Amino acid sequence: MPLSLLALAVAAFGIGTTEFVVMGLLPDVARDLSVTIPDAGLLVSGYALGVVIGAPLLAILTAKLPRKATLVGLMGLFIAGNVLCALAPSYGLLMAARIVTAFCHAAFFGIGSVVAADLVPRNKRAQAIALMFAGLTLANVLGVPAGTALGQWLGWRSTFWAVVGIGFAALIALALLLPGRIPMKAGRILAEFKVLGEAQVLYAMAISVLCSASLFTVFTYISPLLSNVTGLGASAITGALLLFGVGLTAGNMLGGRLADWRLMPSLIGTLVVLLGVLLAFVATSFYVVPALVTLVIWGVLGFALVPLLQLRVVDSAHRAPNLAATLNQGAFNLGNAIGAAIGAVAITHGIAYQHLPVVAAGLTLSALGLSIASARRDRTTPQLSPDTACEPGR
C-alpha cells in the first residue's frame, strides 16, 4: 500500500476524533452549558446534518479543483471549526461550530476514498479505502478514549484544543505525503448528479443511512447506558470505549477484505449477524463482561459495513465516483443525525437505555431488506463494469 494512504489515515483520525469524542463527554458538556443530556446529544445530530448539508455544496465547489489542494484546504477548514468549538461560550454557538467543522467531513472522506482506490491495483481498492478509514476507527481506539479522559480531567474544551493539534499534524502529512498530481476524471458536476437517480445508487445510499442510524441510535447514548444499566464508572466507560474502538478497527479491515472478495453476500451476511447481536445486547447490557463482549462484536460488525457500502456506491455510480462517494458520506451522517434524534426521542418518551438496541435492530432489519432487494436487482439487470461503461457505444 502506498505511503500516501498514511496521510489520508492521519486526517481521518482527526476527523473521527472530533466527530465521536463528544459522545463520551455528553454529561460534562450538558452540565457546563446547562442543558439536558438529550439536548447535548443533539450536538451529534448537528454535526451529522452539517455533513449532509456540506456534501453537495462542497462537491460542487471542489469539482474542478486539484485533489491534493482540495484535501489540504478541507483540513484547514477542519482546524478552524475545532478552534471555534473550543472557544464556544454557549450551547448555540457550540452547535454552530460543530456544523462548521462538519462541512469538511463528507468532501474529505468522499474525495479521499476515491483517491485511495485510484492509488492501488483494482483488486486492492476496498482494502485501500479501509486503510484510509482505519484512521476513523483508530480515532475510537485512541482518540475518543484519550479525548474523553482529557475532557474529564481538564474540561471538555481541552479535548477540542487537542483535536486542533491533530488537525495540524494531518495537514502537514497531507502536504508532504500526497502525490503532487492526482489524476481526475473530467466531467460536469451538475450532469453527474443524474447518476444519483439510478436505482442501485439510491439503494446503496439508503442502506448507508439505515446502517448509520442503527449504530447511532445506541452509540450516541453509550456512556449513560454503560453507566446507568451496566453500572460502569467513568474510568471503566473510557476502557469500554477503547474496546469498542478495537472492534471498529478490526471490523473496518475485515469489511475491506470482504468487499474485495464478495461484496453483496458479505453485506447481507453482516447485517444478519448484526441483527442478532443488537437483540442480544438488550440482555447482556446488565452484566459487565457480557456487555463488553457484545460491545466489541457490535463494533466489528457495525464498521465492517463502511468499506462494503462505500465501495458499493463507488461501483454503482462509476460515472461520477467523487460525487457519489462524497454524497454517501452525507448519507452516513444523515443516518447519524437520524439515529441520535431517534435515540433522544425514545429516551424522552420513556424508553429505557437498555431497550435502545431494539430500536436499532428495527433499522438494521430495514437495511437488510433493501440489501436483499438490491442484490436481486443485480441478478436481473445487466450491469456495466466501471472499465467498460464509458467505452464508445456502451
Residue 391 has what pLDDT? 34
| 212: nearest Cα among 340, 352, 353 | 340
Q: How far apart are CA 72 and CA 174, in angstroms?
A: 6
Residue 323 has what pLDDT? 72
| 49: nearest Cα among 350, 386, 358, 338 | 338
Q: How far apart are CA 58 and CA 158, in angstroms?
A: 29
User: Going from the N-terminus, what domains does the chain have, and what CATH number goes with each?
Assistant: 4-178+192-379 (1.20.1250.20)
Q: Which of 46-50, 228-232, 250-254, 300-304 has the lowest mean pLDDT?
A: 46-50
- Written as one string, the DSSP assignment of 254-286 is HHHHHHHH-HHHHHHHHHHHHHHHHHHHHHHTT
- Based on the number of CB atoms within 10 Å of its own CB, is 305 exposed (0-12), middle (13-18) or buried (19 or more)? buried
- Written as one string, the DSSP assignment of 56-78 is HHHHHHTTTS-HHHHHHHHHHHH
Residue 384 has what pLDDT? 41
Q: How far apart are CA 174 and CA 364, in angstroms?
A: 36
Residue range 119-145, pLDDT digits in tens: 877 777 778 888 887 887 788 778 877
**CA torsion through residues 334, 339, 340, 341, sign:** positive
Residue range 13-53, pLDDT digits in tens: 999 898 878 877 888 888 888 888 878 878 877 887 788 78
Q: What is the pLDDT averaged over residues 265-277?
A: 94
Under the phi-then-psi rule, with left for phi > 0, alpha for psi from -120 to 50, and beta for the rest, what region is 381?
Answer: beta
As a residue count, the chain comes to: 394
* 166 contacts 259 by C-beta, under 8 angstroms: no
Query: Model pTM?
Result: 0.74
Q: What is the pLDDT averaged over residues 343-356?
A: 90
| Torsion angle in degrees (nearest 10) through CA of 270, 275, 277, 281 | 150
Rounded to 10 deg, the angle between the 91-118 and 288-316 helix axes is: 60
Name residues whose C-beta falls within 8 Å of residue 266's C-beta, 6 or more positions apart in sequence. 255, 258, 259, 308
Cα Rg of the chain, angstroms:
20
**Beta-carbon count within 10 A of 254 CB:** 19
Higher per-residue pLDDT: 183 or 235: 235
| Local confidence band at 322 (pLDDT 50, 70, 90 cut-offs) | low
